[in-house]
Amino acid sequence: MGKGAFDEIGSTRVTLKWFSCMVLSSQIVGVIAIILLAVLFGQYRGGFAWTSDINKEFNYHPLFMTLGMIFFYGDAILAYRVFRDVKKLRVKILHGSLLALSLIFASIGLKAVFDSHNLADPPKPNLYSLHSWVGLTAVVLFGAQWVCGFVSFLFPKLSEEIRKAYMPSHKFWGKAIFILAVGAVLMGITEYSIFKSIYGDDKVKYQRNLINFFGVFVLIFAGIILYLVSNPGYQRPPENEIEHNQLDPLLDSIRTNDLNGVETWMEGSDWQTIVQVLQTHSPGPTTTAGNRSSHMDYEDQRDLASSLSQWNCPRCTFINDGSSRTCEICSCEKGS
């Protein structure tokens, strides 16, 4: 594990170098897993086709389900960790787009397996195995999770109170569905190997090895993803949660010298976010030796708001109070 540095309150900051290595490792492992599966079904199991050959069409099922429900899903989960310094709206769009891509691949993969059953002569039954139950449940939950996330956080974007209440569930189900998908993929490839007698035939030992290595790499990929998203040291820094549109009302009030507007903004939740960031990243007054103050009182808040509303004279550079229209030294008008 990478070396960490301890800050003034004793919490561990994990180095970004180790984080970057882990992210890179996850991508390498994930790509290898996809390549192993493509080689297995492309070279040893007949290749790929659409409805013209239902046996070859089935081969799209494991490949596309792994691409969608494992690889792109895992990358979507990592988006907020990897792009921690990018504007949050852009990361939201990337996160949602990767999940949409996952859903598209999963849908095509499901069509491939249903076609291989329904178009067979005679038709084969659907949804009879535990793998099919778990897999379909994962896809349905994934789709519901994507819709709820899109409506809550992107468009039409629900109120802040609802988003805050829903966020813990969104995070939990995101990881839970990912784990469910990993289980479904491993059950599916094992079921396929048993049906095709791959494990009991030494003539196809290369295929058996490809399947086993594929399963190992999927587990490693999933383990890295879950480790990175569960480690608090890799979370998006709190200061990056402050979006520009949250500060716009305050800045407008400062520009127009509207102290009432500043005080109204301070009473909202956006101000509390900034206070929390200041408490976390700035040294504050101490109540006892070695302990930091746990809050910023109202007078401190007013002082900070007042300092934000001050302006520099463009002529003599004197710092004037926000309520003054002209410079106290040279009488130059504010904004001239």
User: Which helix (H) or strand (E) segment is 195 a member of?
Assistant: helix 160-195
Residue 259 has pLDDT above 50, yes or no: yes
DSSP E strands, the chain? 4-6, 12-14, 286-288, 291-292, 311-312, 319-320
Q: Which of 137-146, 148-157, 244-253 shows the lowest mean pLDDT across its residues?
A: 244-253
Selecting from 3.30.70.1560, 2.50.20.10, 1.20.120.1770, 3.30.1370.60, what CATH number does the domain 23-234 have? 1.20.120.1770
| More confident of the two residues 64 and 86 | 64
| Dist CA 77 CA 283 (whole Å) | 33
First-to-last CA distance in the chain?
Answer: 57
What does the pLDDT look like over 142-154, one tens digit per residue?
A: 999 999 999 999 8
For residue 52, the tally of other CB atoms under 10 A from its CB is 7
| Dist CA 257 CA 255 (whole Å) | 6
For residue 240, give the nearest of 280, 268, 267 by alpha carbon: 280
pLDDT band at 178 (very low <50, low <70, confident <90, very high): very high
Chain centroid, CA 182 distance in Å: 18
**CB of 109 closer than 8 Å to CB of 65:** yes
pLDDT average, residue stretch 313-321: 72
pLDDT attached to residue 142: 97
User: Which helix (H) or strand (E) segment is 292 a member of?
Assistant: strand 291-292
| Dist CA 93 CA 233 (whole Å) | 24
pLDDT attached to residue 8: 37
pLDDT average, residue stretch 212-216: 97
**CB of 266 closer than 8 Å to CB of 303:** no
**CB of 65 closer than 8 Å to CB of 34:** no
Q: Provide the mean pLDDT of the chain.
A: 82
pLDDT average, residue stretch 189-206: 89
pLDDT band at 29 (very low <50, low <70, confident <90, very high): very high
| Dist CA 156 CA 40 (whole Å) | 44
**CB of 155 closer than 8 Å to CB of 96:** no
Collapsing DSSP to helix, strand or coil, 291 comes out as: strand
Residue 295 has pLDDT above 50, yes or no: no
* Helical spans, DSSP H, in 60-129: 60-66, 73-82, 88-118
Tell me what percent of the residues of the chain surpass a pLDDT of 70: 75
pLDDT attached to residue 137: 97
Domain ranges of the chain: 23-234, 310-335
Residue 7 has pLDDT above 80, yes or no: no
Interior angle at CA 198, CA 193 and CA 201, nearest 5: 160
